[in-house]
Chains A and B, each alone.
Chain A
C-alpha cells in the first residue's frame, strides 16, 4: 500500500538554527506532495506543494522542500527557525490528481530560545 512516513515525531531546534523535517513516500510512482502546518486547536494550513516541474518548491513563511525521486523523499527545510514556527507539520501525498490524500503521522517542531 502507498504510504507516507515522517521520520521523527518530535524535532527540537534552537531559534536561528536550520529546520529539517523528513518525509518519505513508498511508491515507485511519484505522487503529488504537500506539506501542511497545524497550530494548536486549529485546522491545517498548506505550506507548499509539488505537482510537476521544478523539484525545489518554495512555500510560505520561508519554508521550502525538495522532491527527490531517487530517494522518494520530500523533506521540508527552513534556514533559520523562529519561535513562531513551533507547530505540528504534516506531509501528505496523492497519487492521482483529485484523489484522496495520504498523510504522514506528523512531526511536532519545538523551537527553543
Chain B
C-alpha cells in the first residue's frame, strides 16, 4: 500500500547529540513537509520541500536541517542547536491539491 513511513517511532537523545528522523513516501508526491507538535500548540511547520534538491524554512527552522536528494525521502536532523527538541515530529507529503498525507510520527525525548 502507498503511504508515508517514519522511523524510528520512538527516539531518545542525550543533550548535545544530533539525531536524524527518517521519512519515506511511495505516493509519488512532489511536496514533503516536517511538522513539530507540542501539547496545546497544534502543528508548527519546520521545513518543506516542493521539489527534489530544494527546500524552504518553515516557521520554526532554527536548530533543524533537512535534505531532499530523492523524491521519496526527506530526512530531518535535529541538531544540538535546538534547545528544546523533545516533541512529536510528523512528516507529510502532498500533491498539487494541497491535501496532506501524514506519517505515524516520531516521538523524540531528550534525556
A interface with B by C-beta (< 8 Å): 9, 32, 34, 36, 41-46, 49, 51, 90, 92, 94, 97-101, 103-106
Q: Would you call B43 and A100 a contact (CB within 8 A)?
A: no
Give bound CA distance, A93 to B42, whole Å.
Answer: 14
How many B residues, CB 8 Å from partner?
Answer: 28
Give bound CA distance, A11 to B95, whole Å.
Answer: 32
Q: Would you call A103 and B102 a contact (CB within 8 A)?
A: no
Number of residue pairs spanning A and B whose beta carbons lie under 8 angstroms apart: 59
Residues of A contacting B105 with CB < 8 Å?
41-43
B interface with A by C-beta (< 8 Å): 4, 6, 31, 33, 40-43, 45, 48, 50, 58, 88, 90, 92, 94-105, 107
Task: Please give me the residue from chain A that is nearest to B33 by CB atom.
Answer: A100
- Going nearest first, the 10 A-B pairs with the smallest beta carbon separation are A43-B102, A105-B42, A98-B96, A44-B102, A94-B98, A103-B43, A43-B104, A106-B42, A103-B42, A43-B103
Min distance, Cβ A87 to any Cβ of chain B, angstroms: 14
Residues of B contacting A92 with CB < 8 Å?
100
Residues of B contacting A51 with CB < 8 Å?
97
Give bound CA distance, A94 to B105, whole Å.
Answer: 22
Residues of A contacting B40 with CB < 8 Å?
9, 105
Give bound CA distance, A49 to B41, whole Å.
Answer: 22
Residues of A contacting B31 with CB < 8 Å?
98
Residues of A contacting B99 with CB < 8 Å?
34, 46, 49
Min distance, Cβ A110 to any Cβ of chain B, angstroms: 15
Give bound CA distance, A92 to B103, whole Å.
Answer: 17
Residues of A contacting B48 with CB < 8 Å?
100
Decide yes or no: A42 and B97 within 8 Å by CB, A100-B45, A103-B42, A104-B42 being known contacts: no
Task: Please give me the residue from chain A that is nearest to B10 by CB atom.
Answer: A41
Give bound CA distance, A44 to B45, whole Å.
Answer: 14
Give bound CA distance, A110 to B6, whole Å.
Answer: 28
Interface residue from B33, B43, B102 paired with A45 (Cβ < 8 Å): B102
**Can you name 28 A-B pairs with beta carbons within 8 Å?**
A9-B40, A32-B98, A36-B100, A42-B104, A42-B105, A43-B6, A43-B90, A43-B103, A43-B104, A44-B43, A44-B100, A44-B102, A45-B102, A46-B99, A46-B100, A90-B43, A97-B96, A97-B97, A97-B98, A98-B31, A98-B50, A98-B95, A98-B96, A98-B98, A99-B98, A100-B45, A100-B58, A104-B42
